[in-house]
Every structure is written in structure tokens, then in C-alpha cells.
Amino acid sequence: MSSRINNINLYIKSVIFLCIFFLGLSATVDSFGQKINTDSIQKARKEFAEASRIARQKSVDSAREVRLRYADSLKSARKKVTDSLATIRKYKESKKYKDSLSRARAAKIDSARIVRAQFFDSVKAVRQQAIDSMNLARKRNTDSIRSIQKARADSLASIRNYRESKRYKDSVAFVRQSKLDSTRAARKAENEILVAERKRVLDSAASVRQAFNDSLKAERTKVADSIKLVRKARADSLTKMKENREKLTKSREKLSLEKKELAFQLKIKKKREVFSNEKMLKKKWSVPRKIIQNTYTRYNYYFNADRKMDEALDNMQRMRKENYDSLLALFPFDPDRDSTALAPDMDSIIQKASVGIQIHDPRTKWADDLYLLLGQAYYYKGNYDQATTAFKYIISLNQQRKAKELKEMAAKKKKSVKKDYSIVEPDEDKFLDFLKHESANNEAILWLARTFTESHKEKDAESILDLISTDKNMPEELHGRLALERAYLNISQGRSDLATGQLSVVAAEKSLPEWLRLRASYLNGQLLYNQGKYNEAATQFQEAIDLHPKIEMDFYARRNLAYSLMEQGGNQETATASLRHMLNDGKYLPYHEQVYYVLGRLSANSGDYKDAVTYLKKSVEGAKTTRRQKAISFASLGNVYY
């Protein structure tokens, strides 16, 4: 069939080729026979179409015939396969096939059973043979062991009988005694040799050691003397260099101060040429002059100098960075260390006060206030001699005024008046007394005591304070200030046990500035805590908290309050309640790491190590934890784990 289709395709291709050939041939015919050529082309096309149709019909018919033949052959092949499968199925279902299959299976099972029985019989025979041989070998071994044991028992019995005999015991006793005697003699001889050798070695070592120590001591003495000489020479040279350097520094400072003083004196001198308060004493001290001089002095120079002093003190407190872990200073300014920070402001105050004193009548009421500002400015500059002079001058002015008043009173009464030896101005409660000018005498006495304390003249300061406390005119409102100066004196002398009582008075005195009461309460709590008075320390820290300090001091006061409550044996919940409150307050957010650290320490001290570890880990993992706090927290965490 496929060959026939190939022949048809070949025939069609040849016809198409002939058509194309004739078409190309007709295209070359001359233009004059165009019509004839067109007719022949049309005829050829018709013939080609007819031939193509006939060829296509033949191809279709032949293909149909081939398809029919293929279907018939496929049908006959399928019928043969179906018949053969039916025959096989019928044979398998027949009794003959089933019987032959049963016989084959039975024969196979019988042969397998015979083989298995033969195998088991052979195995059983081999096992029986092995058991018999093992029993025989075991019997032989047992017999030999029994004979050996019997021979050993007989020999042991003979040995035991010999050892139990008197002859053996006598020989053993003799051998032991002879051995002990020889050993004792040998040990004695060896010990004598060792003692003699040891004594010789010790004597030689002692002599060698003594000689070595003597030589070493001599050498050390020589080296020490040389080092001492070198150190002394070096110390002398360093001391000399230091003295020269200090002299040079002091000379430069003195020269600078002299220049400033000279410039200031020149400036004052120019004003003195115009104004002189000594000349003013010659003028009559009339009422209009009193009013004018007091008003100008108060609201011009004193007002400006006092406002400058307040600003300087505010700046001093604002700029100071406190370390609340160590003992807090009673005053926020140390002239010996921080005088340069306020030197420009103090120079300005000194200038204003000096000019105010020079150009106004010395009989004005505000002269002592100007001298007080002058002394305070010199104190803050660290110039204690000038400050002492200013404060003493105020006291002397007051004494002169008192003497003058007594003299005038005696002249009026025309008889002697009892002299008043009091140096303190009494507090006279009279009507409209608040409008009266207050003397700076009492303030000057207290500042003089503080100046003596700061300049390490503690005996002078103590004498002044004792004199004030025993004065009959001592006003009630001065007790707080007196306690303040006594506390400062005791702290300077290291007598913290005496200072605590005075600080309690200062903290309770409402007439004093709040910042001073706050510092006194906190410092008193620290001193009492160091002395082991935890209950009183907790009271002082609570008073500091009640005065509403700044957030940093507030945190440290609450922390120390918790420590004090824990040390006195209180409940941990009570001790840490204030700290837990801080964790819930947003303003204490920068201190949360330290709060966690304190809670961890308190938990560790109370034996609650689980909470201690939790709190200390929070302290370490805080976002705002500093390196110092992180190191402290890690160290505490290590102690807890240890």
C-alpha cells in the first residue's frame, strides 16, 4: 500500500513538473502568437485539472482499498489471539491441569520434607557427638583436679602440723629475735652516723649563712646609704626646683595682683579726689542728708553689689557637679579650690562695695552691709585676711556705736551707765520693726567664724561661737545659723558625731535657705549611716526627700533611704517601695539602671538571689547604662553567682 502511494505521489510530481515546463515554454513564444498561446494554455490547464482530479480519485480509492485490507487482517489476527487465550483459559480450568498442578506441588513438598528431615538428623548426630566428647573431657578434667586438690590438701596438712609443732615455734622465735637484734643494732649505728652528719652539715650551713648574711647586710647597708643619698639629693633638688617654681608663680601672681590693685587704687583715687567720706563727717548729719545718703547707698551701690552676689551664688550652685556617692559638702563652694571660678564676679562686687563706701557718708546705715559684701567677696576669693579685716571692722563699728550711745545716755542722765559687754545685737520686737534697718553685726560675727574655720584657725572660730552662744542678747532666730557654723567647724575637724546633732537643727530651721537645709539633711543622713545609726539616717534621708530636691539628689536620697531601712532590719518591701515607685515614674527614666542595681543589691543581701540576678541583668541590659554602672553591675552579678 505504501509503494502504491509513493507511485501516485511521483506521478503527481511529474505532472506538475510538465505543467511548469510547458508554462515556461509558452512564456517564450513570440508576442504575435499571444492569442493562440492563451488558448493553448487554457486547454492545457483544463487537461491538467482533469488529470489531477483523476489521479486524486485514484489515490483516494487505492487508500480506501488499502485501509479495508488492513482492517480485515487486523480483525483476523485479533480473532486468532482471542481463540488462543480462550483455549489456554479452558485448559487451566480443566480437571487435568488442576490434577497435574496438585501432583507437582505435592511432589515438591514431599522432597523438601525429606531433605529437611535428613538435615535435622545430621545436625542431631553432630550435636550428640559433641556432647559426648565434652562430657568425656569434663570427666577427665574433674578427675585430674580432684587428684591435685587431694595432693595439695595433704601437703597443707603436713605443713600445718609442722607449724603447730614446738620445734617450728622455737626456730621462728629464735630467728625473729636475732633479726630484731641485728636490725636494732644496725639502726642505732645508722642513726649515730646521721646525727653526726646532720650536725656537721648544720654547723657548716650556719657558718656559711652567717657569712652570707653579714656580707649581704653590709652590701644592703651600702646600697641603702647610696640610695638614701641619691634620694636626698634628688628630693633636695626637686624641693628647690618646686620652691623656685612656687616663688616664681607667687611673684607673678603678686605682680599681677599689684598691677590690678594699682589700677583699682588709681581708679579709686580719681574718685577720692572728687569725693571723700572723711570730709563728709564735717557736714551736719541732718534728716534730709540721712534720707538722701541712706537712699543712694542702698538703691545704688549696695543694691547692685547685692544682686551681683546673688547671681554669683546662683551660678555657683547651678554649675557645681555633685558626687552623691561620697560625703556631700555642707556648702557648694570651696574657696581653696574653686575661687578662680568666681574671681571676676567677686572683683566686681569688691569694686562696687569699695566705691560705695568711699563716696558716701560713713554714718549711713548701709555702710556695714557694704563691708559685709566686701568681706564675703574676699572670702569667696580665698583672701581670708582681707575678709577677716572686713568682718572685724563691722563688729568694731557696732561696738563704737554702742559706746557712743552709752556715752550719750550717761550724759543725759548725768550718771554712769553700766557698760554692755555683749557683741551680739538683740532682736527687739517692736511695732513696725520690719521697716527698721537690721544691723549686719550678727551676720558679720558668723561669717568671721566661718572664715576662721576655712583658714584652719579652728580655735578662734570655736571661741567666737562659744562667745555667741553664751551671750545674753543671743536672739532666737540666730540658733539655726549658729548650729550651721558649729556643724561646719565640727566637720572640718573630723568630729562627725558632734556635727550630726547640729545638722539636725539646721535641717529643721525654716528661716534658712531651702537648698542649705536640703544639703544639711542629706549630709546628716550620710554621717549617721556611716556611724551605724540607720534609723536616724533613714529619717534624715526622708526629710531630704520631703524638701523636694532636684531629681539627681532625690534619686540618691531614695536609694540611701532604702539601704538604711534594710540595714536596720526592716521589711524589704518597705525598703524598696520608694525605689519601685521610681520605676513607674517617667522622670526617673535616666536612673532606672541604677534603681535596678540597688534592687539587685538589696535582694542579694536579703538572700533572694533569683530576684537579685533578674534586677542586675536588667541594670546591665539597660539602653542608658554607662560603662561605669555596667562594670559595677557585672561585678555584683559575679558576686551573686559566686
Q: Is residue 324 assigned to a domain?
A: yes
CA distance 394 to 442: 9
Domain count, the chain: 5
Query: Does 323 lie in the same domain as 198?
Result: no
The residue from 92, 118, 149 where one domain ends is 92
The residue from 59, 92, 125 where one domain ends is 92
Residue 368, C-beta contacts closer than 8 angstroms, at least 6 positions apart: 394, 397, 398, 439, 440, 441, 444
Query: Does 229 lie in the same domain as 373?
Result: no
What's residue 450's pLDDT?
A: 92
Residue 594, C-beta contacts closer than 8 angstroms, at least 6 positions apart: 555, 559, 619, 629
Query: Does 323 lie in the same domain as 470?
Result: yes
Residue 624, C-beta contacts closer than 8 angstroms, at least 6 positions apart: 589, 590, 592, 593
Burial class (CB in 10 A: 0-12, 13-18, 19+), 428: exposed
CA distance 301 to 357: 9
Angle at 633 between CA 630 and CA 639, to 5 degrees: 140
Query: Does 558 lie in the same domain as 505?
Result: yes
CA distance 636 to 631: 9
Contact 349, 305 (CB under 8 A): yes
Q: Is residue 499 assigned to a domain?
A: yes
> Residues 585-608: pLDDT tens digits?
888 788 788 888 888 887 777 777
Residue 264, C-beta contacts closer than 8 angstroms, at least 6 positions apart: 351, 354
Query: Does 270 lie in the same domain as 174?
Result: yes
CA distance 454 to 448: 10
What's residue 275's pLDDT?
A: 40
Query: Does 465 lie in the same domain as 491?
Result: no
Nearest one of 578, 586, 628 to 602, comparing CA atoms:
578
The residue from 92, 115, 149 where one domain ends is 92
Q: Is residue 102 assigned to a domain?
A: no
Q: Is residue 132 assigned to a domain?
A: no
Give the DSSP letter of residue 29.
S
For CA atoms 139, 144, 147, 150, the dihedral sign is negative
Nearest one of 427, 432, 291 to 365, comparing CA atoms:
291
CA distance 19 to 412: 173
Query: Does 447 lie in the same domain as 298?
Result: yes
Give the DSSP letter of residue 326.
S
Burial class (CB in 10 A: 0-12, 13-18, 19+), 458: middle
CA distance from start to end of the chain: 103
> Residues 72-87: pLDDT tens digits?
888 888 888 888 888 8
What's the chain's length in residues?
A: 642
CATH number for position 600: 1.25.40
Q: Is residue 127 assigned to a domain?
A: no
CATH number for position 347: 1.25.40.10
Query: Does 308 lie in the same domain as 222?
Result: no
Q: Is residue 377 assigned to a domain?
A: yes
Q: Which parts of the chain have pLDDT scores under 70?
A: 1-37, 260-261, 264-299, 356, 358-366, 410-421, 427-437, 570-572, 623-626, 642
Q: Is residue 310 assigned to a domain?
A: yes
Contact 522, 493 (CB under 8 A): no
Q: Is residue 455 assigned to a domain?
A: yes
CA distance 120 to 351: 135
- Pairs from 619-627 (Cβ < 8 Å, separation ≥ 24): 619/593, 619/594, 622/592, 622/593, 622/596, 624/589, 624/590, 624/592, 624/593, 625/593, 626/593
Nearest one of 476, 466, 486 to 426, comparing CA atoms:
476
What's residue 276's pLDDT?
A: 46
CA distance 538 to 560: 8
Contact 294, 302 (CB under 8 A): no
**Which triple of cell numbers denotes residue 392?**
572685724
Query: Does 230 lie in the same domain as 269?
Result: yes
What global pTM score does this model have? 0.55
Give the DSSP letter of residue 511.
T
Residue whose C-alpha cell is 483476523: 76
Query: Does 470 lie in the same domain as 324?
Result: yes
Q: Which domain holds residue 621?
A: 571-642
Query: Does 461 lie in the same domain as 360?
Result: yes
Query: Does 522 lie in the same domain as 603?
Result: no
Amino acid at 542: Q
CA distance 468 to 436: 23
